[in-house]
């Protein structure tokens, strides 16, 4: 370090009148010589100071003043004149026994002057209960004080439980100044994680390289600018009340992993959704949006008008292509409003020719016809399965006859598909005595129908004595898709 300029013979002039009167006797005789010596000494001393200020390490290192200047108004601005050089300097901890405090060696800046203590210290508590202060004098010597501001710099405080201890609540009071250990730690990446999600240990050439590596991780890169593997970023597992990925000001809402191969969503510290390898579970299946037939609450990517909704209380509905296709009511009944079905009727008498199979003509407005199976004007003898309505159907036929019978005869009623009897779709009546009534015909049959299949109801009567007709009084044919 630069040495102070001392007052001595041929070194430093006192004044022009007396010269260096303390060392020479007047009259002053060494004016020129002493002046030359003074100028050289001043120049060398100033140059040494400049050299020290420009140095960053080594025996002539000077204090890096620039890094100790605060420009933030919140810190009052100006230079930082006191603090500990590095977090380990004068580190103070409760010792063993706990009636002692161990103070590590360190370097401090005290009133803009560096002070080094290479041995540290141990202090022993005594006296009544209270706060003790670990303080440094201007030379870095450690003292234990009963009150603050008794020495040049208070570095730690601790609670003492008198009269024999222990010490507790050790608290740092001094600023921590940046040092070489900090810079080195910024360059060094320790190995973290569990395979295969790990970050291997690495020593970066420059601190800026590590900052760039962090930016590259966030941008999705697998290597840093030096080509080193960055590792796979991963969230902590978290829990339902403290998710691994949470949101500012809302720490119990976010994403976490309750166990391997599972992802869960939590809001307010309660699990709402669980995604596993085999299922997606809505833990609290409550959706604030009721939805509508064209915009169901639960829909699918690219198909927003197909899904599930509930726009009526206690009823769950299903939509496809914006149309209602199913609903469960509060009692558990299932309604399929677009399921294929038709009910055709005939109420006017239709005469059956003797010994001739006759198709029943259904000419009354249909009670319902979902899918357009039947036309009461054109081809009203048939029910045609519309395109897209293939499936298993229940077919029900009912026929009533005019009465009484005027002559004994036999009767055959059949349900046909494309002109061929559907298995099980036949009822036959033998002749009844003249003057009695025929029993009504009831046929129920299940069959698989394809698009464009034609269903008819036909009847045949056979007169035992001649060609006598028989009138159908009423007829009903119902087709209902069940699967």
Q: What is the pLDDT of residue 285?
A: 56
Q: What is the pLDDT of residue 48?
A: 82
Q: What is the pLDDT of residue 430?
A: 78
More confident residue, 366 or 354: 366
Average pLDDT over residues 241-263: 95
Q: List pLDDT tens digits, range 423-436.
A: 999 998 877 666 66
Tokens of 18: 């007396």
Q: What is the pLDDT of residue 233?
A: 81
Banded pLDDT at 470 (limits 50, 70, 90): confident
Winning range, highest mean pLDDT, from 118-132, 177-191, 296-310: 118-132
Residue 140 CB coordination number (10 Å): 21
| Element housing 354 (H / E) | none
Kindly report the backbone phi and psi dihedral angles of residue 68, in degrees, each rounded to the nearest multiple of 5, phi listed first: -105, 15
pTM for the full predicted model? 0.47
Q: Terminus-to-terminus CA distance in the chain, angstroms?
A: 99
Q: What is the pLDDT of residue 230?
A: 85
- DSSP state letters, 9-51: TTT---BTTTBSTTTSPSSP--HHHHHHHHHHHHHHHHHHHHH
- Give the span between the Cα atoms of 457 and 154, in whole angstroms: 108
Q: ∠54-60-64 over CA atoms, to 5°?
A: 45
Q: List pLDDT tens digits, range 83-134.
A: 999 999 999 999 999 999 999 999 999 987 889 999 999 999 999 999 999 9
Q: Given a cut of 80, is residue 355 above it in pLDDT?
A: yes
Q: What is the mean pLDDT of the chain?
A: 86
- Give the span between the Cα atoms of 5 and 41, in whole angstroms: 8
Average pLDDT over residues 63-74: 62
Banded pLDDT at 265 (limits 50, 70, 90): very high
- Give the span between the Cα atoms of 477 and 406, in whole angstroms: 27
More confident residue, 211 or 78: 211
| Element housing 411 (H / E) | strand 409-417
- Give the span between the Cα atoms of 49 and 63, in whole angstroms: 11
Q: What is the pLDDT of residue 232?
A: 81
Which residue in the block uniquely carries the two structure tokens 């909704």? 309
**What residues does CATH 2.60.120.40 cover in the chain?**
341-481
- Give the span between the Cα atoms of 250 and 273, in whole angstroms: 18
Q: What is the pLDDT of residue 61?
A: 55
Q: What is the pLDDT of residue 128?
A: 95
Q: What is the pLDDT of residue 290?
A: 86
Q: What does the CA dihedral 459, 465, 469, 471 come to, rounded to 10 degrees?
A: -70
Percent of the chain with pLDDT over 90: 56
Strand partners, 315: none
Q: For strand 100-103 and strand 92-94, is the pairing parallel, antiparallel, or unpaired?
A: antiparallel
Banded pLDDT at 417 (limits 50, 70, 90): very high
- Give the span between the Cα atoms of 117 and 108, in whole angstroms: 9
Tokens of 105: 């060696």
Mention the CATH class of domain 341-481. mainly beta
């Amino acid at each position: 370090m630069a040495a102070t300029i001392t007052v001595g013979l041929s070194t430093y002039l006192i004044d022009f009148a007396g010269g260096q009167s303390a060392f020479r006797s007047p009259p002053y005789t060494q004016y020129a010589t002493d002046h030359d010596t003074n100028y050289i000494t001043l120049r060398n001393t100033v140059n040494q100071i400049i050299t020290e200020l420009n140095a960053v390490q080594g025996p002539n290192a000077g204090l890096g003043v620039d890094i100790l200047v605060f420009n933030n108004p919140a810190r009052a601005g100006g230079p930082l004149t006191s603090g500990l050089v590095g977090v380990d300097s004068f580190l103070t901890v409760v010792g063993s026994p706990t009636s002692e405090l161990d103070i590590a060696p360190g370097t401090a800046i005290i009133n803009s002057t560096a002070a080094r203590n290479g041995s540290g210290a141990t202090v022993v508590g005594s006296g009544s209960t209270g706060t003790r202060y670990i303080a440094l004098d201007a030379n870095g010597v450690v003292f234990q004080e009963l009150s603050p501001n008794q020495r040049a710099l208070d570095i730690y405080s601790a609670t003492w439980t008198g009269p024999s201890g222990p010490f507790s609540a050790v608290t740092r009071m001094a600023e921590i100044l940046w040092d070489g250990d900090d810079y080195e730690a910024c360059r060094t990446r320790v190995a973290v994680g569990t395979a295969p999600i790990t970050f291997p240990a690495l020593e970066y050439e420059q601190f800026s390289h590590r900052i760039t590596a962090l930016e590259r991780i966030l941008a999705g890169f697998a290597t840093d600018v030096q080509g080193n593997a960055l590792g796979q970023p991963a969230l902590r597992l978290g829990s339902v009340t403290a998710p691994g990925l949470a949101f500012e000001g809302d720490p119990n809402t976010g994403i976490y992993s309750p166990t391997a191969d599972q992802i869960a969503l939590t809001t307010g510290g309660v699990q709402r959704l669980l995604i596993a390898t085999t299922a997606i579970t809505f833990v609290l299946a409550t959706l604030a949006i009721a939805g509508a037939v064209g915009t169901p609450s639960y829909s699918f990517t690219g198909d927003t008008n197909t899904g599930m909704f509930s726009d009526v209380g206690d009823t769950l509905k299903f939509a496809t292509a914006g149309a209602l296709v199913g609903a469960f009511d509060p009692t558990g009944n299932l309604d399929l409003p677009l399921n294929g079905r038709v009910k055709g009727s005939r109420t006017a008498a239709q005469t059956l020719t003797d010994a001739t199979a006759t198709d029943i003509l259904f000419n009354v407005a249909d009670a319902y016809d979902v899918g357009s199976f039947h036309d009461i004007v054109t081809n009203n003898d048939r029910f045609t399965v519309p395109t897209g309505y293939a499936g298993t159907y229940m077919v029900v036929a009912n026929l009533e006859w005019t009465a009484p019978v005027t002559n004994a005869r036999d009767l055959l009623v059949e349900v046909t598909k494309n002109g061929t009897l559907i298995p099980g779709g036949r009822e036959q009546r033998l002749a009844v005595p003249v003057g009695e009534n025929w029993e009504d015909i009831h046929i129920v049959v299940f069959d698989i129908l394809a698009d464009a299949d034609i269903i008819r109801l036909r009847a045949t009567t056979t007169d035992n004595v001649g060609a006598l007709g028989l009138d159908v009084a009423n007829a009903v044919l119902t087709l209902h898709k069940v699967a």
